[in-house]
Every structure is written in C-alpha cells, then in structure tokens.
Amino acid sequence: MSNTLPVIQSDTSIAIIAHVNPDGDSLGSILALGLALRKKSNNVNIFLNDELPGRFSFLPEVHLLKKYNSNEFDKFDLCFILDCGDERRFGDIDLIEKSRLVINIDHHISNNSYGDINIVETEASSTCEIVYSVITKHLSIEINDAIATCLYTGMVTDTGNFRYDNTSPHTHRVVAELLELGVDIQEITFQLYQNNSLKSTKFLGYILNHLQVFFDGKVTLIEVNQELLNQFNVKYDEVEGMINYARDIEGVEVAVILKETADNEVKLSFRSKKDFDVNQLAKEFGGGGHRKASGATVTGNIKEVKNQLLDKLQKMI
C-alpha cells in the first residue's frame, strides 16, 4: 500500500462507516478499525447506517455502533469508508461533504477510487485483511483480542470459511497472527454457523423446496418477498447464506437471490463458481462487487426484474 495516512492526534475527529445491508466483513472492519483508532483519538465515531444483523451481535463493543445524524456533527477531519465499491453504498447521507479527508479502504474489483486516499487491494480476501495491515503497519497500533475477533469474523465470512479462491497464503498468515492473539474460533463458529433459529431453518427448507432452475441447470434462482418473510417471521439478513445452497448444486454456474422490499425495490445477490463473472452481470443492473460474488439494487417489482435478469443471463451463460 503506497498511500500514507495522516498523523492522528487525540483531538482528530474521525468517522467510520461501511455499506448498508452489513455483512461480517463490513461490520468486522469498521469495529476493528474503530477500536484501534480509539487508542489514538478521543473522537472516533463508528456509524452503522442500517440494522445490525442478529448473528453479529456477539462482536466486541457493538454498542459503539450508532446511527448517523447529520444535525449532530459539523465536520470530521477524517472519514474512513470501508468495504464500499462506490460512495453511494453507505447510504444517502452527507458524510463525505462534512469530511476534510476521505479514506477509501476496500477490496472490491468494482471500486471507483472515490476517496482522497484509496487503499484498494482487489487481491485481498476481505476488507478486514487490508484493515489488519492498516492497523499494524500504517497506524502502528497493537492489536488486542477484541480487534482480532472482529478481523477474524470478517475474514472467515468473506472467504466462506476459507473455501473461496480469494483465500491466499497471506490470508492464512494474517489468520495465524490473529489466532495467536487469542481469537476464540469455537465461539465465533458457534455464533455464525451453529446457532440458527428453528424458524430460519424451516424457512431454508421452504426456499430449497421452491428453488427455480433455468438454462439446463446452469442457473438457480431464489425469490423472496416481504409477504414470505412475514409468513415465516424471519428477516432479510437471515436469507443471505441461503444462496450458497443454490450455488453448490452440481452443474450450477450462477445462483441468484431476488429480495423484494416494501418500497418497490429489488435487491439482487449473485454467486458463481468456476469462470462466470457475476461482477459483469451486476454492472448490468448498476451494481458490482467481485468476480464470484456481487450484488445490485433495482427499482421495480420482482417479476419485472426477474424477466430482465433472465434476458441478460440468456446472453451471458
């Protein structure tokens, strides 16, 4: 990383934020960086401009996460935007306008380098992997067990338990360092993967039973609307991991979840294996991400968006 971060003093005002619809990497990275920067500055604000998914409520110091309110803040010296491919993904708020210096830290291939300082490493497994280097090398801050837990959580979730091809030798070296700092793998594994509610498990059964298959088994599709969520009494964040079941079927190249919200909006999540580039597919809908994991948000009803999606897939698959 060639970009040099500014010197941080005790009175440096800092904002930290990641994308809406938070996942393990976004939450782990903002908490880890926030906890580290609190060792240098007395004015660190970690913003979560969305609801905290329940499965991540075990993360250290989650009480520090707060909703951004423009009226509470005049300006910030530094604004760290983490895990966001572009400046629209953290919500319709005026953080950039109120910040003297914007620092963009990310690993998405679709990142458009919107920051004054851009630390974008597309070969990294996760934003948490980059934040580890930012904390230890750029800021020279010692990592404690709380920071290590946040970083490990982001890395393990964004690599699919280190199964995806974004996992590198460096990823494992960083993880080894975190384990030596006292990360409790058993507790993290329990909270993330072994503590599912009965209702979400029944919902998974329904989803798999209604899985749609297209193009000779190359594409699987899951549709979720608000009515269905209400029927099973589950939240949207409980849906995300279900796409992996659809992707991992023999012969499937692309898996898609269409999630319809109440305000005529559809959130698309794409996953692929082998050679299909879902980042290019996401760009067709104004989104982006990674080659094998991307997403987009589209205005319209779910039937219209589904038809558009299938038309584009037919030309690409």
CATH number at residue 27: 3.90.1640.10
209 and 168 belong to one structural domain: no
164 and 25 belong to one structural domain: yes
146 and 204 belong to one structural domain: no
Per the structure, the count of domains in the chain is: 2
Residue 6 counted as domain residue: no
Out of 159, 193, 227, pick the residue that ends a domain. Answer: 193
Distance CA 274, CA 260 (A): 28
142 and 65 belong to one structural domain: yes
Among 119-133, 150-164, 260-274, whose mean pLDDT is lowest? 260-274
Does the pTM surpass 0.75? The reply is: yes
CATH number at residue 245: 3.10.310.30
Percent share of the chain, pLDDT over 70: 99
Out of 150, 167, 193, pick the residue that ends a domain. Answer: 193
The full length of the chain comes to 317
Out of 193, 215, 232, pick the residue that ends a domain. Answer: 193
Domain containing 73 equals: 13-193
| pLDDT score of 1 | 42
| pLDDT score of 21 | 87
Please give the average per-residue pLDDT across 114-131, as a whole number: 97
What does pLDDT average to over the chain? 94
Contact by Cβ (8 Å): 243, 212: no
User: Which class for 59: exposed (0-12), middle (13-18), buried (19 or more C-beta within 10 A)?
Assistant: buried
pLDDT tens, position by position, 18-44: 998 899 999 999 999 999 999 999 999
